[in-house]
Amino acid sequence: MNSIVVKNKICCIYLDNQPQNYLTRPEFISQKELEDAVQSNDCIAIIISGIGRHFSAGADISTIHEMSRTGNLADELTAGKNLLQTMQSFNIPIVACVEGVCMGAGMEIMLNSDVCFASSKALFAFPESQANLMPGLSGTVKLTTAIGKKKKPWSLF
């Protein structure tokens, strides 16, 4: 289960659904819980990391299918985008610490950070593009900003 821990005014978000740290919801941590943690503790930075071998292999496809089947997918994606926008609104540095796999929604979380520290064994990808799907949390927009328009098409495949 993903968690928030505040220590010495640093808000740490841990992605913990081992072994791949799949995200079961686009709003991977409670927006209200994050707001309360950052504001009540006067946090000066947010650090996001995965527990275990991987940062995150992205969305749990079975839950995405279930959300689509029940008609909740659009609302869930909106909640995920709102969470990432809320993180940006704090105007404090967001640091992603990436080890192992960082794919799909995990990569979208990383792209919303100000700084990414990645191990030499980190692997980044948008595997959904191979299935003609778009990243659901505005990842392609953030990717364009991060690497530039000329390199973007090559990075998606």
What is the separation of C-alpha 5 from the centre of its chain, rounded to a whole number of angstroms?
A: 17
**What pLDDT is stored for residue 140 in this prediction?**
58
**What pLDDT is stored for residue 74 in this prediction?**
82
Average pLDDT value for residue range 119-142: 68
**What pLDDT is stored for residue 28 in this prediction?**
86
Q: Name which of 80-89, 108-117, 135-144 the model is least confident about.
A: 135-144
Which has the closest alpha carbon to 107: 11, 17, 21? 21
Amino acid present at 12: C
Which has the closest alpha carbon to 80: 138, 122, 121? 138
Report whether 25 contacts 76 (CB < 8 A). Answer: yes
Question: Which secondary-structure segment (H or E) carries 7?
Answer: strand 3-7
Domain span at residue 99 reads: 3-155
**What pLDDT is stored for residue 139 in this prediction?**
55
In percent, the amount of the chain with pLDDT more than 70 equals: 81
CATH of the domain at 105: 3.90.226.10
Question: Total domain count for the chain?
Answer: 1
Kindly state the tokens that stand for 143.
Answer: 């990717």
- pLDDT-based confidence at residue 157 (cuts at 50, 70, 90): very low
Which has the closest alpha carbon to 77: 63, 91, 97? 63
